[in-house]
Structures are given as structure tokens and as C-alpha cells.
Amino acid sequence: MTILDRERSDVSAAPAARQVVYRHRLPTRIWHWLNAAVILVMLMSGLMIFNAHPRLYWGQYGANPDHSWLQIGDSGEQGFLRVGSHTIDTTGFLGVWGGPGDQTMDTAFPGWLTIPSTYDLAGARHWHLTFAWLFVAAIVAYWIFGLSNRHIWRDLLPSRRELAPRHILEDVKNHALLRFPKGEAARRYNTLQKLAYLGVVFVLIPLQILTGLAMSPGMDAAWPWLIDVFGGRPSARSIHFICAMLLVLFVVVHLLMVTLVGPINEVRSMITGRYRLPAEHD
């Protein structure tokens, strides 16, 4: 029996508009907040590690004399981001930014986005490579819990009907028009939501872990397939960065949706587990 089934029988007497359902079980809630904190640390320390060499490459080797497909840098007063042959001025944010007390700093990512906040590659690696263990432990626990208590199968896996192009298009339209599920329909995640969560849990986070391991010379000796899969350590580093940015994109959209749908109800549901179904006619 899923949590939703169980709650359906508990609250069936309540008027539909006021229904409170038990939406998130304790392991899910603990994982959510632990993961939120760990991902924040991983992102901010990762950006500091990137600052040590703010260029990305494809292939088996990649260093300053080689062609980089992405670079953040400065040409004197101006900060820039270059992707391929396109360069944009990012002065004030990337490459050149205002540090404490009118100082002009020239690291790629600004101090308010990094851990530690002043240039410290060794310190950032300590944070990143320690919290990486928590990051991995958390997702492995989530997979084990989620697959064994059927949370992933019942709540996250879209049905064949939900995957029909017409249904997905309808879902995209609803999101674009900020039309969110009400009443009974709000019991379940919608299709885009399911795909986003599955994408994070089974694609982005595993890719982050594997590309992270592929940057370790020790792991490459133990598991040479890591390098074969990604086509080189510089490629793995590029994919690691891209996945990090996609995770940032996910978090931004996630927070936007929480804000639009009802921040108090949504945040409460991730703390207490209880979610008030939005009324049919609001």
C-alpha cells in the first residue's frame, strides 16, 4: 500500500477541498534536506575547484596550450565567459567582480558563490571530497529505500499513458500557463515532475558521481572503463560541470514551482510529510 492509498482511506470523509494527505515519508524527507545541504556544499566547493583552472576541454588531454570549449577569464578590467567562439562580457559577475572593500577580484566565480569564499583550492577539495561521501551515501540509501518500498515505482515512474506525446504536450502547456493540478489530481506528481525527479535521481546524480570518480587518477587505474565511457578525463570534467549546471537549473525551477504552487504548503509537506490538496475551485 502506498502512502497515498493509505491516506485516501483515512481522509475520505473530509471535504475534498480541505483534504490533507500524508505525502512524504520520513526517509524521503530526511534525504531531501540532507541532499539539499550536501548539493549546496558540493556546488559551492566545486565552483572554487573550477576557479583553479577555469577552462573545459574535450578529449584525453586538455591544458592551456590546447583548445578549450569553455573559458571564464579576464582581459584586464573585463571579465568574460567564452563558449566555443562566442564571448560575452560578464564583468561584475564572472572573471572580474567586486570583492570586499572595493577590491577587484579576478577569479572565475565570485566569492559569494564559492566555499571557501577566498581562493583556496586545497580547502575546497577538502570540502568537496569529504561531502562527496555523504552525497554518494545519500543517493545509494535513496535508491535502496525507494526501490524496496516501491516509492520510485508507484510515485515516480510515469505510466505509458502519461508518456504519450499528447499527454506530455498537455503537461507542458499547463506548466507554461501556470495551471497546476488541483484536488484529486494533486495527489500525484504530474508527468514533467516525475521525469524531472527521475532525471535527477537516475541520470544527473549518477553521472556526477561517475564523472567525479573519472577525474581521480587512482580510480582510473582501478576502473579504466570510467575513462573509456566518458572519452577522457578532460571530457569527464566537462560533463561534470555541465551536470552541475543542470542540477542548478533543476533547483531553480524546483524552487520556482514551489513558490508558484504554494510555498508554505509545499515546504510544510517536506517537513511534516502532510500536504493539503489545493481546492478544485480556487
The answer to whether 127 and 113 are in contact (CB under 8 A) is no
> What minimum distance in Å lies between the beta carbon of 196 and another protein?
27
> What minimum distance in Å lies between the beta carbon of 97 and another protein?
15
Using CB under 8 A as the binding rule, whether residue 215 contacts another protein is answered as: yes
Using CB under 8 A as the binding rule, whether residue 63 contacts another protein is answered as: yes
Q: Which amino acid is at 78?
A: Q
Stretch that binds another protein, among 58-66, 176-184, 189-197, 274-282 (CB under 8 A): 58-66
Residue 180 — left, alpha, or beta (φ > 0 → left; ψ -120 to 50 → alpha)? beta
The answer to whether 278 and 20 are in contact (CB under 8 A) is no
Stretch that binds another protein, among 47-55, 197-205, 256-264, 268-276 (CB under 8 A): 47-55
User: All 3 cell numbers of residue 154?
Assistant: 508507484
Task: Give the chain's end-to-end CA distance (angstroms, integer).
Answer: 31
Q: Report the residue from 21, 108, 200, 227 that binds another protein according to the rule CB under 8 A.
A: 227
- Angstrom distance (rounded) from CA 205 to CA 212: 10
Using CB under 8 A as the binding rule, whether residue 4 contacts another protein is answered as: no
Using CB under 8 A as the binding rule, whether residue 244 contacts another protein is answered as: no
The answer to whether 178 and 184 are in contact (CB under 8 A) is no
Binding site for another protein (CB under 8 A): 41, 44, 49-50, 52-53, 55, 57, 60-66, 111, 115-118, 120-123, 125-127, 129-133, 215-222, 224, 227, 232-234, 237
